Amino acid sequence: MLNPAPISDAIASVLLSIPELNAAMGGRINAFHYRLGQEHRLAEAIYKMPAPSMLIAWEGSKGGNFDGQTIWKHRWGVYYRMGNAAGVADPVGYEDLWWITCNRPPGGRGPNIRYLQLYSGLDIMDTPSIDHELDEDLIDRFKGVFIIPEIGDN
Helices (H), 17-144: 19-24, 42-47, 94-103
- Per-residue pLDDT of the chain in tens (154 residues, 90 and over written 9): 899 999 999 999 999 999 999 999 999 999 999 987 766 789 989 999 999 999 999 999 998 776 767 689 999 999 999 988 777 778 889 999 999 999 999 998 999 999 999 999 999 999 999 999 998 888 889 999 999 999 877 6
Specify the pLDDT at position 154.
67
Dist. CA 152–CA 37, nearest whole Å: 34
- Domains of the chain by range and CATH? 4-150 (3.30.2000)
Specify the pLDDT at position 86.
72
User: The whole model's pTM is what?
Assistant: 0.91
Specify the pLDDT at position 151.
87
Are β-strands 29-32 and 53-63 bridged in parallel, bridged antiparallel, or unpaired?
parallel
Specify the pLDDT at position 83.
85
